[in-house]
Chains A and B, each alone.
Chain A
């Protein structure tokens, strides 16, 4: 009870003090009109949300595709045997290259480069190429997450499955992957938060999404408040998701601690 009271008083003093200091700073009025123009933010919100729907479409489709592509890459990298060497190599080169190069370079390269080839039948919609770029970049990261999960399942599990006569692929599908995927859900969601934020990068190749919408508005009247609107839209989506990931991680840790060493 006493601690709660102290915490409250402390909160009021620190935050109140900060607020007073900021509002009374000599240049606060300029900052306020340029950054925190509430009427502008409110008025632009429908357009920003409309633009954000493009981001949502982009990351939703991308996430589904990433889950599949990354899994395939991870499985290819995990298949033993000399005959599969070229495929393992290809998958390794792919993950290395796509993780080593900044994402925005890939988005530029694919988004402008491929439509610029003017090849018959190849789509020129920047949305498509934005999607392809994001899927390729994030599949490289997520495949490593999957692979870590696959390698964390003890070899005795595969031995038990194979001893029943399950093929390598069936052992992977019914025994190894279900356990691996469960373990990697938190880091996987972390990568998805990154993907969701990186969807604004596609504004560079002419996809009109939330960031581009704010840019257009800002260039009209040199007011930066629209970007605060963008931040608000992102906070609403991203903060709950990070909290969910934190909760999943701590739950996983608790469960493992309860299970003890096996």
Chain B
């Protein structure tokens, strides 16, 4: 792949105080994470490490806590117990500046959540302009380049309503990328799409993975997870029940629950 390194996937510069990175500097550390909604305990002690440039896929049944975990990493949900650390920066600490943290972590939602009152270009430039203070002309130049790279160059002036689901989701990905995040969270981003539109979105993710973007992906697309993941985590009952390289986890899962889950997926013709 000869494509120049995209700005969105440039690895974060190392602060001078931290030691030089060795092989793979852990980008994200999660320890003993608990989260309840009322009486329902969704996360019951999640432990997870994601190294820089790693692509971790979260699989598991609906309600296993995949989305909640991603929302906790982005601090969209307050954590009840446990800690999340990014580059030695504990983001779950009290009094932390959540807006500063979120700047570094992009998230793409299942339902796109584009801003319907703004054109595509303004959707993408909102973050850089209002959060990073990037001048309008520069933000629009960057956004246009990103949109063109993902085949959306002719949609710049459109409102989200006029785009297909696949196009909307690609705009949502570009909107997250425009902030040049260190970490990208993808929350079942193809689940709301018609089957024929899934491929165009997955292509974008493939390209990002090839560019070295660190990603945590909650997904039901097992074939895709198998292809793209550096590591797959099976969530069950609010914990990471089993994790491993995709070949191992999909072919010879250790846990009976994992086997059961994958069996159901195979029966549904999704693997």
Binding site for B on A (CB under 8 A): 156-157, 159-167, 170, 174-175, 178-179, 182, 259
> Majority SS of interface residues in chain A?
helix
Q: Is the CB of A156 within 8 A of B131?
A: no
Which residues of chain B (134-188) have a CB below 8 Å from chain A?
161, 175-176, 179
- Of B102, B117, B131, the most chain A CB neighbours within 10 A belong to B117
Q: Is the CB of B113 within 8 A of A164?
A: no
22 contacts between A and B (CB under 8 A): A157-B113, A157-B115, A159-B113, A160-B109, A160-B113, A160-B115, A161-B115, A162-B76, A162-B99, A163-B74, A163-B76, A163-B102, A163-B107, A164-B103, A164-B179, A165-B102, A165-B131, A166-B99, A166-B131, A170-B130, A175-B126, A179-B115
- Of B102, B111, B114, B130, the most chain A CB neighbours within 10 A belong to B130
Q: Is the CB of B130 within 8 A of A166?
A: yes
Task: Return chain B residues, CB-CB under 8 Å to A157.
Answer: 113, 115
CB distance from B259 to the nearest CB of A (A): 35
| Residue from B74, B109, B116 in contact with A179 in the complex, judged by beta carbons closer than 8 Å | B116
Q: Is the CB of A156 within 8 A of B111?
A: yes
Q: What string of 1s and 0s marks CB contacts (under 8 Å) between B87-123 and chain A?
A: 0000000000011101101110101011111000000
A156-B111, A174-B130 are contacts. A165–B179 as well, Cβ < 8 Å?
Answer: yes
Task: Return chain A residues, CB-CB under 8 Å to B179.
Answer: 164-165
Query: Top 7 closest A-B pairs, CB basis?
Result: A164-B127, A165-B103, A160-B113, A165-B131, A165-B102, A163-B107, A156-B113
Task: Return chain B residues, CB-CB under 8 Å to A159.
Answer: 76, 109, 113
Besides A165-B131, A259-B161, 20 more A-B contacts (Cβ < 8 Å) are A156-B109, A156-B111, A156-B113, A157-B113, A160-B109, A161-B126, A162-B102, A163-B74, A163-B107, A164-B102, A164-B126, A164-B175, A164-B179, A166-B126, A166-B130, A166-B131, A170-B130, A170-B131, A179-B116, A182-B117
CB distance from B75 to the nearest CB of A (A): 9
- Of A164, A167, A170, the most chain B CB neighbours within 10 A belong to A164
CB distance from A152 to the nearest CB of B (A): 13
A156-B109, A160-B109 are contacts. A166–B127 as well, Cβ < 8 Å?
Answer: yes
Q: List the B residue with the shortest CB-CB distance to A181.
A: B117
Q: What string of 1s and 0s marks CB contacts (under 8 Å) between B227-253 and chain A?
A: 000000000000000000000000000
Q: Is the CB of A164 within 8 A of B131?
A: yes
A259 to B175, CA, bound (A): 23
Q: Is the CB of A174 within 8 A of B103?
A: no
| Residue from B106, B117, B131 in contact with A178 in the complex, judged by beta carbons closer than 8 Å | B117
A159-B76, A174-B126, A174-B130 are contacts. A165–B113 as well, Cβ < 8 Å?
Answer: no
Task: Return chain A residues, CB-CB under 8 Å to B106.
Answer: 163
A157 to B112, CA, bound (A): 10
Q: List the A residue with the shortest CB-CB distance to B110.
A: A156
A159 to B67, CA, bound (A): 13
Q: Is the CB of B115 within 8 A of A165?
A: no
- Of A160, A161, A167, A179, the most chain B CB neighbours within 10 A belong to A160
Task: Return chain B residues, CB-CB under 8 Å to A166.
Answer: 99, 126-127, 130-131
Task: Return chain B residues, CB-CB under 8 Å to A259.
Answer: 161
A173 to B116, CA, bound (A): 15
CB distance from A252 to the nearest CB of B (A): 14
Which residues of chain B (28-87) have a CB below 8 Å from chain A?
74, 76
CB distance from B70 to the nearest CB of A (A): 10
- Of B76, B99, B100, B106, the most chain A CB neighbours within 10 A belong to B99
